[in-house]
Structure 1
């Protein structure tokens, strides 16, 4: 590979490279280099370093590759190369020794040529065992030399995770090798698996006899011991003898790894190129090197770069001078086990704490999505964007935002992946001339609404930026301390402010440039709220924002002061994409000898030219056009299709229409499977995995009363095939999804033609009336709801009555693939399918039997974060309670007509209205109110809470409905009685106004005040007359200046209301540094302490503020004489936190501060 064949990015500073990759052969070096995601420019070596390096990256890992000198294989040479690498790149955390080796097939491991062997410790041996094989060659004996170290724990843990993933989803080795061959076409002959390559294993006792083995396709990965020696093994008998002396655990032999293992912590990965016998040759060497490198890539992509950065650097030692001790071994004697010391470091514990915090922030990881998108990008796609002046201004200038707008399907997401990839590797070629880069990115996705609320996205940005920090920042630790008990799914908009504050702190590091990259803002269902939050962060920091979206006036207004760039598919990118898909044309393949090569070449040029010119800036169309052309069987058909390619802004809809027609042309069973797959994916509540969907479709069509077996599950590949390119599977996550957001939009508009596909003789793909499509969507939701209910009903019987294991239910979500989706989302589908129609009798029977069988309580409590803690009310929950909780509005009248009491309560006192408010179903709440539901009070763990208070806390419009209801005047009346006679209230009463202040709902506060709510309601829970809560203090502590002003306007008599420690609102304003609120309180006569203290007999404190901050605070003693305290007395009043906060502002000047003499107990001078 020459420089002209690949693009390189500037070399990073040496301390940015954290992984060392060592090869022994030039073949292995080629495979390693070709497997990199990006290659970095070479830099000169320090004096004395004779290695030749290749620099590059895989994912977020920066890697330095070195190869042993030609003809100098073996342990000593490997040690020298590794030592020099560590001297030149001192930040390397661990190494990889990757290349080819000789396989040792055993009865437990069917090793074939091209397979991969990974060094893995056993109970008595480390991953690599060093043997002195010199004597073995001569007389059959050999020596095992040294006690070698295990691979690093981070790699062993990653291996376990990868092994599980490969068992579930298969390995990506062949995919990466194929991608490498497509990218580097010159490698095809040597590094791909050719049909001419034979895989023959000869018997060790008869070298003329071939061992018969069943045919096997695909690369398999084996985990076990690797023997490393100083001689090449070409003897099957010796090979098997070595394995026998090491308890039959050896899978591979090689020559270099033992030179590294003690002082260069590494993992050894070997592609099998021969069987270490006399038939050894180099035919398989290239392919084996490629499979080993591909496995290394797959492994690295599941290891977070942040975890690698937290490891200690490898200590530089002379690896080749390690003191090994020798043990003589007779081949007839049993091998003694090696002594292995497993050291657990403090570093591992710190990493565990860090990872726990990162997982607490959010389990969502956008790296997999990024690599999925990046894998679809052709090598040069997006280069025009990276070179564009506006992008360069964002990168290097003072501009803070760049918004790239483009029509649906224009390729915005692929371009975003190019920008992220560029930023991950971007830095000035001079190591210290410019700051480092911190990067956080989000891919908004229409199917990920549940995990992409504004608060979730902020948490993800915090998580990504924390990973760049060497230690956990205090604000992030404080965030965890404050919110640790709250599940991520239970965070709300009220928490946005605190997460934004942590984000601002992370960005405040002046030594780094921080970039935030956001893709598909138009797919964010809280775009206004999110943009408000992110621009508030940008305003207070130096962060820069790159974003993509469809054209939108609302989004443009937010970015009005920044840079803009219109996105459309560039001709170069499209031609690159189309050219990359030409090998898929069977008609034009090299194997088709019936067509002249000149005609093939001409057709290829026509395809590239006409497809590129027909897409009109919509990249997605190129895919549709190619998919359509691939079905043609003659050159004439290809040319006719090229002539009829649709043009214009509606072209992609015409492309969808043609795809639906192709689906209709399949056998009826395929049509049915396509209809169900597309319909369900257009209506699912969240992203769904292939396994979940397969079980869902099986339970839907299965007439039995048991859960689906493997025999009735649809094939993932078939589901993809019958949908004709409209469905894709994310390889990393296993999520099956629609091709594009426009696919969802098209299906929503034309669902009728799809849902009735198998019933019609012809297919009508034009847009049908909206009402018709809406009815079809309702049918899909009904179908999904029934499948969920059927699954849950069968499971409840099978799991709890047949098994009889009531404690087993906590494990069930992990063993039944469709359970979690069904329990969380059946009601949503029911609401969308049945709430707006007259319920058929069959539906009433289904839902009545389901909710009335007594199992819903147990099913719900399988999941700790489920909102309804049904066990607290077990035995008292009625069907109407469940109907209200799940928002099944159309079932309310059915229940009431069947004799259910709308006022019935559970053991804790909740009624149906309470459950509707709890789960924020406003329509259901309104329907219950219209049918006479009454207000109630429920004793919660915080105190006595009313229905109105709950509605305000949940933040729905139901609170306004309640206030308009005359029955709810009783709540205001009760509040007045508590305020007038607090001594008669035996429990803590949570006033609705307090709740409104807590959630910062100013409009609700005004409504409550208009209805007569007491502005300064108080409680008495201790019997001693002390105030336990006050709305004004709550508003001050939460920083709601507008609410403070509103409460004081309603009644300023309680401006100096104090808590049980006599601290007033002004005290809290000063203590917390909220000086603008302090100004408001001072205007209304605020004092620092309430009456009742020895040092404040009712005389006001004199507080002066300049520019919103205190210039002096003067307290008055009992004799009405002012008292001065200066900085000299600071140590005597450290316990007074608000004074320390005040002094922080004046720590560099001898400011005079006045404090109450009784408070601090000092000898003072009267003035």
Structure 2
């Protein structure tokens, strides 16, 4: 189960349900639409709502209601996901469907054979299953149950089309009931045409109940006035009600409270999207005015907390943020006496920030995240430069001077004792890449080989996701500062290192990768050009798995990088990796139409090249259902549509097995 995914939707469910004000949401459970959805297999219930209307809390109410109803019925499968508004670093479609698969499989007394087969097929090779394999497994597991309920909150915050198609397939083929919430976004609502629809909008009674349960005692005498004024002003937005209630915290006298309530009445969200955004902006700007009106130390702490939450590349735990805030540029070790208390970090932020049950520090609502990201240059113009410096300062601490950990236990202890180590190693380069100028401490860090080794070890371990064993043997050694700068695509750092004349542009890590290989694999066009312009790079250098820069770029669909490499006239376009696959084979199998066209236009590729399994580029494209690529290959007039793999499979056989109807039609000529 842990190999499938480490995400735990149950923890999120507990956290969201805990925030529910008792009694709220009953109107939804009593609605005809919800009752009909419960009783009819294969039904979909789509519930859109405006931001802050309580969609996520209501989803937790639905999950709780269903699990309570079928608590003693093992024949009913229930799975749910809460899509995250943060960058989808670990919430791509595959991860979300894996989470649903894990939950359904956990409901069985023994491991379903389809899941065991998936595990056996990939764990030894340290690979991850394709979406088609995951889809087949969840379809298989769904057949075990008499009823299946699938709940997706905030569909608009993830890769909706592919995920929704999978849910609709489960509904059509297995009779699964699908429940979805989303904001009002046209490309989402259009996908639910002619399906049952029920808008989520906090009732006035629900908001009043929420206000009653969260109102400070000092407002007791004005309780009715506050309830009426705020519930009228927020127009069905729970989150805005909470923000408005918090905005009264610094009001002392009844007159001050009534004056504030009168101003709120003038800021009713109404129904207009632009007006709502303007009002929310006013709310967050007012919160910033309150923050800036604090004593200097409180103001500085609040702005630091908000800048980190706004600009961080992934959510930070409270402990990580504590350590980040405690670092000053130039430090050589962490000063424990400089750690801020979590309570202080939250209290100075005027109600904008909270710590959830998983100890993640975040904004109270995604509209705050959106607001501060959109206005980042106004509030935190130098944040990325500062964060990059803090990260490399942390990675340059004396504790990392020993370089690479020689054992798993030593590495685990390093992670435990240095909570910010993981984030700093993984993200310093992303922050550095977004700066206008590069600070000297970044170059100093990249020129210290031992510290580069310590950083690269943490970087490689987490990249392997669920492979949490054999840290010391799995991580790439011999990475240099140039490798790291190329990996992250920090053009200014690469240029600075090249100008020193002291770097080996063809140096290899123990995985056999050169700086050019890293840059090509990750699509960093500017860095690839810098390296090529040196005239010293081995453009056909191979990694330990036999992959060249061109092959990596083709596999990942980095069109601009592929063009740069081809334009040199020096690349081996037919170079094969250890599995016998060419750049064209990988590009075709991954569905990168533009790259396939670039390769075909050279007139130098063998469109019938076979790998060790006997599969051609056409076979790979057909198996994955890439219609446009299949058409490109067929249009060359040089492919054998009846070519057979070592197991006797034709492209048509692969396409038919996976249900790719459009590809099957193309191949039936």
Q: TM class by shorter-chain length?
A: 0.7 to 0.9
- 1:683 and 2:278 are equivalent in the alignment: no
Question: Does 2:156 match 1:519?
Answer: no
Q: 1:499 to 1:1070 in 2, by over 3 A?
A: closer
User: What residue is the counterpart of 1:618 in the other structure?
Assistant: 237
Shift of 1:464: 0.8
Q: Does 1:635 align with 2:254?
A: yes
Deviations 1:803-850 (A, max 9, x none): 999983343112211111111111111112x2xx2x25xx1x212210
> 1:1060–1:373: structure 2 CA closer, same or farther, 3 Å change rule?
closer
Cα drift, residue 413 of structure 1:
1.3
- Please report how far the alpha carbon of residue 498 of structure 1 lies from its aligned counterpart in structure 2 after TM superposition: 1.1
Alignment correspondent of 1:745: 370
1:500 aligns with 2:135: yes
SS in 2 for 1:409: coil
CA contact (8 A) 1:902 1:933 kept: no
Alpha-carbon contact 2:558-2:595 (below 8 Å) kept:
no
| CA distance in structure 1 between the aligned counterparts of 2:445 and 2:506, rounded to whole angstroms | 20
User: Which residues in structure 2 correspond to 1:203-282 (within 5 Å)?
Assistant: none
Tell me which residue corresponds to 2:441: 846
- Partner of residue 352, structure 2: 726
* Counterpart residue number, 1:1017: 609
Contact 1:508 1:542 in 2 (8 A): no
3-state SS, counterpart of residue 248 of structure 2: helix
> Secondary structure in 2 aligned to 1:850?
helix
* Contact preservation (8 Å) 2:528, 2:561: no
1:383 and 2:18 aligned: no
The separation in 1 between residues aligned to 2:198 and 2:425, in whole angstroms, is 44
| Inter-partner Cα distance in structure 2 for 1:522 and 1:1036 | 30
1:1050 lines up with 2:636 in the alignment: yes
Q: What is aligned with 2:273?
A: none
Q: Could you list the per-position Cα deviations for residues 627-678 of structure 1 after superposition, in whole angstroms to 9, with x for gaps in the alignment? A: 1223322222222222222323243332222222221221110001111011
Question: Where does residue 522 of structure 2 map in the other structure?
Answer: 919
How far apart are 1:548 and its partner, in Å?
1.4
Count, aligned residues: 650
Secondary structure of the corresponding residue to residue 149 of structure 2: strand
Q: 1:517 to 1:1075 in 2, by over 3 A?
A: closer
Question: Deviation of residue 418 (structure 1)?
Answer: 1.2
> How far is the alpha carbon of 1:693 from its aligned partner?
0.6
2:468 is aligned to none
2:328 to 688, 694, 700: 700
User: How far apart are residue 988 of structure 1 and its match?
Assistant: 7.1
**Partner Cα distance (2:339, 2:345) in 1:** 11
- Structure 1 residue 397: deviation in Å? 3.2
Q: Is 1:812 the counterpart of 2:414 in the alignment?
A: yes
In the alignment, the residues of structure 1 paired with residue 638 and residue 316 of structure 2 have an alpha-carbon distance, to the nearest angstrom, of: 55
1:925 is displaced (CA, Å) by 3.2
Q: Which stretch shifts more, 893-902 or 856-865?
A: 893-902
For residues 586-985 of structure 1, the aligned pairs below 5 Å read: 586=218, 588=220, 600=221, 603-645=222-264, 646-648=267-269, 649=276, 650-700=278-328, 704-709=331-336, 711-730=337-356, 732-751=357-376, 754-755=379-380, 776=381, 779-797=382-400, 808-832=410-434, 834=435, 837=436, 839=437, 843=439, 845-855=440-450, 856-862=452-458, 864-866=461-463, 877-899=479-501, 904-906=506-508, 910-926=513-529, 928-929=531-532, 936-942=539-545, 944-958=546-560, 960-962=562-564, 965-968=566-569, 970-972=571-573
Instruction: Using the TM superposition, give the Cα deviation of residue 681 of structure 1 relative to its aligned residue in structure 2, in angstroms.
Output: 0.8
Structure 2: 5+ residue runs without aligned partners?
A: 270-275, 465-470
Check if 1:451 corresponds to 2:90. Answer: yes
Residue by residue, what CA displacement relative to the aligned partner does 1:421-477 show, whole Å, maximum 9, x if unpaired?
11111259xx99xx9532111111223622211111111010111111222211111
Cα distance between partner residues in 1 of 2:377 and 2:653: 62
Identify the residue that residue 1127 of structure 1 maps to in structure 2: none
The match for 1:1117 is: none
Distance 2:312 2:592 in 1: 33
Distance 1:1040 1:642 in 2: 58
Greater helix proportion? 2
The Cα shift of 1:365 comes to: 0.4
The answer on 1:550 being equivalent to 2:187 is: no
Deviation at 1:522, TM superposition (A): 2.6
How far off its partner does 1:405 sit? 1.7
Contact 2:77–2:107, Cα closer than 8 Å, also in 1: yes
Aligned pair partner of 2:599 in 981, 1000, 1008: 1008
Q: Any conservation in 1 of the 2:12–2:82 contact (CA below 8 Å)?
A: yes
Deviation at 1:1051, TM superposition (A): 4.6
**Structure 1 CA distance, aligned partners of 2:38 and 2:358?**
32
Describe the shift of the 1:571–1:785 C-alpha distance in structure 2 as closer, same or farther (beyond 3 A).
same
Aligned residue among 634, 643, 650 for 1:1065 = 650
Cα distance in 1 for partners of 2:666, 2:292 equals 72
How many Å apart are 1:1075 and its aligned residue? 11
- Give the 3 Å change call, closer, same or farther, for CA 956–537 of structure 1 in structure 2: farther
| Residue in 2 that maps onto 1:239 | none
What secondary structure does 2:411 align onto? Answer: helix
Classify 1:391/1:476 alpha carbon distance in 2 versus 1 (closer, same or farther; 3 Å): same
1:481 offset after TM fit, Å? 1.3
Please say if residues 63 and 151 of structure 2, whose CA atoms lie closer than 8 Å, have aligned partners that are also in contact.
yes
| Aligned-partner SS, 2:251 | coil
After TM superposition, give the deviation of residue 1070 of structure 1 in Å: 11
Please say if residues 364 and 451 of structure 1, whose CA atoms lie closer than 8 Å, have aligned partners that are also in contact.
no
Structure 1 contact 799–805 (Cα < 8 Å) conserved: no
- Structure with bigger strand share is 1
Tell me, in whole angstroms, the C-alpha distance in 2 between the residues paired with 1:395 and 1:1079: 38
Contact (CA 8 Å) 1:390, 1:563: kept in 2 or not?
yes
Deviation at 1:800, TM superposition (A): 5.2
User: How many Å separate the matches in 2 of 1:508 and 1:1003?
Assistant: 39
- Does the residue aligned with 2:99 lie in a helix, a strand or coil? helix
Aligned to 2:272: none
Q: CA RMSD in A?
A: 3.7
Does 1:411 find its partner at 2:54?
yes
5 Å-filtered alignment, 1:310-325, equals: none
More relative contact order in 1 or in 2 (CA 8 Å, sep 6+)? 2
CA separation of 1:579 and 1:872: change in aligned 2, threshold 3 A: closer
Structure-2 separation of matches of 1:574 and 1:361: 39
> What are the Cα deviations for residues 872-891 of structure 1, in whole angstroms up to 9, with x where unaligned?
9755x554333211210223
Whole-Å separation in 1 of the counterparts to 2:286 and 2:509 = 59
TM-score (norm 2): 0.87
Contact 1:436 1:513 in 2 (8 A): yes
Post-superposition offset of 1:967 = 1.9
Residue 892 of structure 1: how far off its partner (Å):
3.2
2:3 is paired with a residue whose SS is helix
SS in 2 for 1:451: coil
Alignment partner of 1:559 is 2:155: no
How high is the TM-score relative to the length of structure 1?
A: 0.51
- 1:580 Cα offset (Å): 1.2
Q: CA deviation at 1:1068?
A: 6.3
Distance 1:948 1:612, change over 3 A: same
SS at the partner of 2:370? helix
Give the SS at the match of 1:695.
helix
Q: Which residue of 2 aligns with 1:1121?
A: none
Q: Output the CA distance in 1 between the equivalents of 2:375 and 2:657.
A: 57
**CA 1:1060–1:558 in 2, change beyond 3 Å: closer, same or farther?**
closer
Contact 1:1036 1:1065 survives alignment (8 Å): no
- Aligned position for 1:480: 119
Distance 1:745 1:486, change over 3 A: farther
| Contact kept? 2:627, 2:663, Cα under 8 Å | no
For 1:1105, the equivalent position in structure 2 comes to none
Is 1:569 matched with 2:202?
yes
